[in-house]
Structure 1
């Protein structure tokens, strides 16, 4: 029993250059009675006694299996000179448990926290202490590169409230930032303990739990200790606190010393390209754009086996050695993918390695990496590198690999993953120590000029890795979406520690510039905020040889890196800084925010010492007064760019705008131009009415929104207050029900722990419906990914709507439900017209099936569509067109034009419309007419409304396609990720009318496609559609064009990826115009 007299002692001394503390320096002090921790620039509270349940013993059986916490303990405190010990006691006899948390002062103005626990019953899994931090302070966490949690944005992405060290919590530290200074909290062990950081935000506070795990297995553990934790105050911004930790870590882990073992060439690399070396032509073109000797080619697909199959068989493809040599002859550096611990259960090595397979410390089950890739199921065991047998096998294979193929580097995939293995210590090491040993033995046995790389980065892997990939926080790679509010949380907390030792670049999920907005989102995270070197993933020859403006910008940025060799330098950090460098010439450069968005600025690098803007992204405003242009943006006048979507990010180019080129120079208020696509014979304008909006978007809704889970017995757990979706959201409930903002969709996982059967997760949106519109709730429903589909038995989605003010007992309730066991969205619509002019509550529920495995239920783009019931308001816009207009067509049929002279025109159209400016259509077509033999324009249209030129393999091109072995002439039309391929024909139809006929299909060999939507539109109005799956026969279509007889029209063949674009080998067979019967 730990007892003592309660007492109060307040102490605190200050840091002064490592000597005796100076009274006026920053220091940390504790009020032992209240638990108040003052760090000079603020005060937080240490959890103790009967306060917030943050300190305690995690135990497998005591406390009902959820542990023992300070709010249920008998508590006491003992104060002696220099330290205070808080004691908690629970139970008696075999249920007796005791915990001591000791806070001690140090001569340098810091405090330390340590814990030890004793129980009579085995099963301790960890000990935890905690802090209550008012959200007037910010939390800086080195998780997934680094994030900053604030009162305005308090919740981490992906629903994370627990961050495990070192897999996600990458350094054993966190920072509390106040005004003028803050407090660094860090552990002090070297690969001895696994840990977790728990962070939850409620009622104006962050509740922070700092957990140290006991070494697994836990069943017999009756005594446990924490690592030592140190609390240090500092002056200034958080980067000063991070620098304090880096100085400590450098000495503790020998980081500077070990970095000298890296090959010299590795520090020169300033650009990475993910490629399988499949195309020599592309590499030759790349060599003309960037300096090959400073470019690292990362090669996943070099083995004879498919990716992630049959580890540890590292038999190379027959031609890969020659391809590596060819790349190296151009000057490129080549890094090959391997897996740090993977063994396929079907590989002969598995029998010998199975005793060392990692076991989960809680379930005690063997750990596998397992996922579905298309139609293939991938599964391999994770072997603990603490095993000397595994290290000998693996390192030997790497030595053979290097001797046979002579790569410049080896990428150790999944190197970030380390577990508190339930096997216990293997050959005297835990998995943290085994990871270090494997890296060290590779370094010792491989040639000195071979670099090591890894996936993600933490203070275990940073010691020996020259390169590391960065995942992008706030990006949802499975769906190709992102959340700007989470991207804004990113700060380079991990880079502040590791950047001097390891060069980071993007994860292979990093977007290619073909998907422009998605690429920019990735770039904003890993380059602009985390300091990664630029990256290009899986380029093709066409985009390298004929680069788009975004590709040109990427190459320009890569050349700037290669010419200037920037290194991390936070000495000039300020509140607008995103990342900061010092170049090889000693000049400063920064990614930073400004009034228009964000830039990469090289200070003093121009003529006469002027600044050079290497990159600029625009966002946050609907107009910008700058002299340059946005590539592909046509709304501008002599003074400004206008009509911008403040929520979208645009690439800016400082080339001056061409006032004689096609552009729109006058737009009415409250009308948005969703897109402009300029083609050979026509231009397409897509207008959207903002004064009378066409939809209420639930993904960007001011609220009120409520969410929760309901169990079969009627128990409800829900959010304490209503919330908004404008800055994202993430909530988890007691039985595992979860709702999260995923870019353009909502994850709504049903309850899955405890008695989850019969329960569901729900969200409610209160919406006022206009009286003059026809409202319809619309969404898509699906499972989150193919991985979920493989394990789930499906989810039932239910939607309800009722008048909010109506009595619950008598109110009419509208409803709709849809079952889904697919990763492709199924549309759901609920007519709300009976509630016009009223405030309604719309409730969305997700119900599990017989099992709850992988039930990641997703609502795709939920919104209330508001259809115009009367005549739409008409608006005018003016434009400059050096090509003379011949006619105008539109989806509404109401658009007109007037010539104003001097190549200027006025367009009059409904405020929401698709308008086609037609320059030339030729004569009336002669029927029958094969469209695949006629000229056409192709473009890419993305879900956010933006357009782009076709880029191989996306877009339309003439060819042949076989479906179930039947070959037809026609048009290839592969759609892009989360977008469409449009093929436009401008034709004048005969007075007798016509029909459009043909076939739609997904070509043979595309079995892994998730389906393609085929659409036919005339003047922007859809006339035929079908969603097809691979493996089916040709689908015939026939569209009557009698309503357009004698008119010039734009016929558009559309293919839609329906989200994922993999293997979407869409084909239009034999499209032709024929006479009506």
Structure 2
């Protein structure tokens, strides 16, 4: 039932009991009486339940202040709405009970006469401090909401927030929030803005937002559970599997992908490494990420994919042994000095707010793409790379054409696609009526058809890329190259639990076991369910392995 009492809405489903006061959820308990959210009457006016976000700021808080109005209306025994009127914006939150599951469905939307609206944010505050957040950030974290690593952080789907759910784990159970979206709607979560127990769930409008007046369109489901975090994660996994028809996808996965038990990232172009590996482990159980194979320098002159004679020899020798070698391609990026750049330059990624060109270069540290047209095409040595919207059919055609020859010439069974994680809302979000995330999904499906059963590996893993990638090279929490303090104990195998039926992850960088930091990084990846991964510079590290690599080689041997 859902009942309205003045400025409050009282909800009781078969699983939970909740109260909304002045639009803010102030109480959330299980039917058994375990409490998860509590806000006192004196705290209700301190947090706006609904906000309207602008690309240029400031944001509008609905219903607060001397002229703010909030009206609660009953629509039925299982549905109510809360209307907000503020000086600068208006909005509605619809509350619905799902009688079958006990879910409380929260559907927020807001609008204004002022253009430039980019999102609306539904705020949840007062989460009790004994709950830990289990979330798909960096393949899975389990941290107190009050942890400094989460305070005032923002996570965008699917680049950073890798699936649309959040789990709050308590001693014997908890609650979770998720959205069941298959339409590539962009969403984000803001943590810690209104204190340690604060979560802001954002529904974003597609760019461009310059003239946009409203945001909404996503329903958030909230429910309680008993047990560990795997309980709600399993429910989400089942929805994801069925919503995208993934059983058919699973049936197309190459059988050998399930047998890989070791990976090498950033493997040097040295056949002695293959010889040393073959002495220690079954080659057919090893995936090799192979970046240094082109006639061009690494990360320069994409999408030019021509193999050197040495790389041809390495790949052919590796195939004779039975290794699975994945040469490094790039899913989204083009060198602005490449002759094809002018054909697609109008479809470069542009930031949704600033409209700046998104990409990168390298000058000892990462640098932005030049905004100078003169500089843009004259800095190949700095690895300048512009991102092209993957929804553009011409880009898909260019990439397919340039990948097809090496795939067929080298008889590849797998390829690696860099920056496959880099899709997000843009100023130029819709190209050929597709978002970047949907466009990349289509692009990867096309690449897989370049040969019979071409296996795809790529950078990053989320609920969309998991549908096309068999292997994903993943990053540790804010530790792409350097390692943050406190990395140990942050991660949990959430994404492994969600996606491993389709996609297996492997490690990224600094996994040689030479230092305590490298040992920590190796352990952190394995704790998240990744395939044991090493990074080496020479065959000597396999002929005379340190303790960490020796243990890994032994572990692979014992499995077979």
Under a length normalisation based on structure 2, what TM-score does the superposition of the two structures give? 0.89
In the alignment, is the contact (CA less than 8 A) between 1:473 and 1:525 conserved in 2? Answer: no
Structure 1 segments unaligned to the other structure (5+ residues): 15-26, 564-1077
Tell whether 2:291 aligns with 1:293: no
Per the alignment, residue 217 of structure 2 pairs with: 226
Deviation per CA, 1:631-688, whole angstroms, max 9, x where unpaired? xxxxxxxxxxxxxxxxxxxxxxxxxxxxxxxxxxxxxxxxxxxxxxxxxxxxxxxxxx
1:485-496 map, 5 Å: 485-496=486-497
Tell whether 2:53 aligns with 1:58: yes
Deviation per CA, 1:989-1048, whole angstroms, max 9, x where unpaired? xxxxxxxxxxxxxxxxxxxxxxxxxxxxxxxxxxxxxxxxxxxxxxxxxxxxxxxxxxxx
Distance 1:179 1:547 in 2: 43
Distance 1:399 1:549 in 2: 41
Per the alignment, residue 144 of structure 1 pairs with: 138
Distance 2:187 2:525 in 1: 26
Distance 1:28 1:89, change over 3 A: same
SS at match of 1:43: strand
Tell whether 2:246 aligns with 1:279: no
Distance 1:490 1:69, change over 3 A: farther
SS at match of 2:305: coil
Distance 2:470 2:247 in 1: 12
Tell whether 2:384 aligns with 1:379: yes
The match for 1:312 among 288, 303, 313 is: 303
Distance 1:451 1:100 in 2: 46
Structure 2 segments unaligned to the other structure (5+ residues): 366-378
By how many angstroms is 1:474 displaced?
5.7
The match for 2:413 among 408, 412, 423 is: 408
Query: Which deviates the most, 66-75 or 262-271?
Result: 66-75
Distance 1:286 1:192 in 2: 42
Distance 1:215 1:45, change over 3 A: farther
Tell whether 2:435 aligns with 1:430: yes
In the alignment, is the contact (CA less than 8 A) between 2:175 and 2:222 conserved in 1? Answer: yes
Distance 1:39 1:363, change over 3 A: farther
Distance 1:372 1:469, change over 3 A: same
Tell whether 2:111 aligns with 1:118: yes
1:582-593 map, 5 Å: none
By how many angstroms is 1:409 displaced?
0.9
Distance 1:303 1:39 in 2: 58
Per the alignment, residue 12 of structure 2 pairs with: 12
Per the alignment, residue 325 of structure 1 pairs with: 316
In the alignment, is the contact (CA less than 8 A) between 2:351 and 2:426 conserved in 1? Answer: yes
Distance 2:549 2:536 in 1: 13
The match for 1:262 among 253, 256, 281 is: 253
Deviation per CA, 1:395-418, whole angstroms, max 9, x where unpaired? 222222211222221111010011
Distance 1:70 1:399 in 2: 57
By how many angstroms is 1:49 displaced?
6.9
In the alignment, is the contact (CA less than 8 A) between 1:269 and 1:296 conserved in 2? Answer: yes
SS at match of 2:123: strand
In the alignment, is the contact (CA less than 8 A) between 1:126 and 1:211 conserved in 2? Answer: yes
In the alignment, is the contact (CA less than 8 A) between 1:482 and 1:521 conserved in 2? Answer: no
The match for 1:129 among 112, 122, 125 is: 122
By how many angstroms is 1:160 displaced?
6.5
SS at match of 2:301: coil
Distance 1:114 1:310 in 2: 46
In the alignment, is the contact (CA less than 8 A) between 2:118 and 2:205 conserved in 1? Answer: yes
By how many angstroms is 1:161 displaced?
0.7
Distance 1:247 1:459 in 2: 12
The match for 1:29 among 12, 17, 22 is: 17
Distance 1:536 1:486 in 2: 18
Per the alignment, residue 765 of structure 1 pairs with: none
By how many angstroms is 1:384 displaced?
0.6
The match for 1:454 among 442, 452, 458 is: 458
In the alignment, is the contact (CA less than 8 A) between 1:466 and 1:501 conserved in 2? Answer: yes
- The structure that is strand-richer by fraction is 1
Distance 1:149 1:201 in 2: 17
Per the alignment, residue 473 of structure 1 pairs with: 477
Distance 1:32 1:65, change over 3 A: closer
Distance 1:32 1:548 in 2: 59
Deviation per CA, 1:572-623, whole angstroms, max 9, x where unpaired? xxxxxxxxxxxxxxxxxxxxxxxxxxxxxxxxxxxxxxxxxxxxxxxxxxxx
Distance 2:272 2:290 in 1: 16
By how many angstroms is 1:124 displaced?
1.0
Deviation per CA, 1:891-943, whole angstroms, max 9, x where unpaired? xxxxxxxxxxxxxxxxxxxxxxxxxxxxxxxxxxxxxxxxxxxxxxxxxxxxx
Q: Which has the higher contact order (CA 8 A, sep 6+)?
A: 2
Distance 1:251 1:362, change over 3 A: same
Distance 1:46 1:356, change over 3 A: farther
By how many angstroms is 1:38 displaced?
2.2
Distance 1:69 1:339, change over 3 A: farther
Distance 1:202 1:420, change over 3 A: closer
Distance 2:521 2:389 in 1: 32
Distance 1:125 1:202, change over 3 A: closer
SS at match of 2:256: helix
SS at match of 1:326: helix
By how many angstroms is 1:448 displaced?
3.0
1:650-665 map, 5 Å: none
By how many angstroms is 1:356 displaced?
1.2
In the alignment, is the contact (CA less than 8 A) between 2:114 and 2:213 conserved in 1? Answer: yes
Per the alignment, residue 181 of structure 2 pairs with: 189
Distance 1:28 1:559, change over 3 A: farther
After superposition, the CA RMSD in angstroms is 2.4
By how many angstroms is 1:442 displaced?
1.7
In the alignment, is the contact (CA less than 8 A) between 1:82 and 1:105 conserved in 2? Answer: yes
By how many angstroms is 1:200 displaced?
1.0
Per the alignment, residue 551 of structure 1 pairs with: 549
SS at match of 1:486: coil
Per the alignment, residue 661 of structure 1 pairs with: none
Tell whether 2:82 aligns with 1:86: yes
Distance 1:432 1:70, change over 3 A: farther
Query: Which deviates the most, 32-41 or 377-386?
Result: 32-41
By how many angstroms is 1:75 displaced?
2.3
By how many angstroms is 1:545 displaced?
1.3
Distance 1:202 1:66, change over 3 A: closer
Per the alignment, residue 517 of structure 2 pairs with: 518
Aligned length in residues: 531
Distance 2:354 2:427 in 1: 9
SS at match of 1:206: coil
SS at match of 2:490: coil
The match for 1:531 among 529, 532, 539 is: 529
Per the alignment, residue 541 of structure 1 pairs with: 539
In the alignment, is the contact (CA less than 8 A) between 2:36 and 2:174 conserved in 1? Answer: no
The match for 2:148 among 151, 155, 158 is: 155
Which is greater in Rg?
Answer: 1
1:243-258 map, 5 Å: 243-258=234-249
- The structure that is helix-richer by fraction is 2
